[in-house]
Amino acid sequence: MLNGNYFSTTLNKQPKKTLNNSSTTVVNISHSFGVDAQKAGISFSTINSVIKALSWQLNLHTDLKKGDRFIIVNDGNIKPAAIIYQSIVNNKSIEAFAYKNKHGNTSYFDSFGHSLSSSFLRAPLKYKRISSKFQLKPYHPILKTWRPYRAVDYAAKHSTPVYSTANGIITTKGKKGSLGKVIIIQHDFDYITVYAHLSKYANNLYKDKKIKKGQIIGYVGSTGHSTGPHLHYELHHKGKRRNPITYKVPVQKSIDHINIKKFKTKINKILSSLKLEYQPKYAN
């Protein structure tokens, strides 16, 4: 989804470099990716594709610095054939190459054929039992009423470590009404997870901090409206609460051995077609 804060209304198109049967556009960062991409003549749909392809790897709000650049290669398909991000300050490079599977769905992979998206842990902690399941009309023991419960409660000992179920960025850390001490994590543009009733947080956590899958973010408690130590866990997808136990979350895949050779041949052709000044720079 396009964020209105990204874009300006004035377009200042720059010529694209045409290489063989593909076209290459370089977006140099001076303001923000959305604004600078528009100035380089990038369409909204391509901007959206770039944001989504790199959203597991890069926070476009906080990670970009003036002087960074994006190299976008198009080969006539709807989505870019290759996206390369280069950080001038950190000497960091992220490569994303398009691959269309047998069902016609296009996803992005690194040069080794590994998916750029993160998979999810099956559960955010080691728990004794599930004390409350995701239900549409359960009975609430504190409020004494029947109401939807769109979360899962994991009963566990006080101070049991709680893990982030996937790579993401902290959007909320603090007290939030009946949830008590809570951490909310954004995973790409579609997924959000909520961890509530925590007794305390892990050290050195703050808003906009990047979090890795399996990283400890807090400890089980009973803060807020709670009948005892447990973790209240929510999974949101595209703005709706989903059942964390049954909902099909992304699985981190790799391109199979049958198609990997063809994939690598394609990306080598793309990289070799780029002029020397556009070649990725790798960190030591």
Output the CATH code of domain 4-117+254-278: 3.10.450.350
pTM for the model stands at: 0.74
What is the pLDDT of the chain when averaged over all its residues? 84
**Residues 6+ positions from 142 with CB-CB distance below 8 Å:** 225, 227
Please work out, in degrees rounded to the nearest 5, the angle formed at the alpha carbon of residue 170 by the alpha carbons of 167 and 176.
135
* pLDDT of 16 above 90: no
Which regions of the chain carry the CATH code 3.10.450.350? Answer: 4-117+254-278
CATH (residue range 129-242): 2.70.70.10
pLDDT band at residue 282 under the 50/70/90 scheme? very low
Residue whose token pair is 């390369």: 84
Whether the per-residue pLDDT at 278 is higher than 70: the answer is no
What does the radius of gyration of the chain's CA atoms come to, in whole angstroms? 22
pLDDT at position 137: 62
pLDDT tens digits for range 27-77: 999 999 999 999 999 999 999 999 989 988 888 878 899 999 999 999 888
Task: Evaluate if residue 131 carries a pLDDT over 60.
Answer: yes
Start and end residues for every CATH 2.70.70.10 domain found in the chain? 129-242
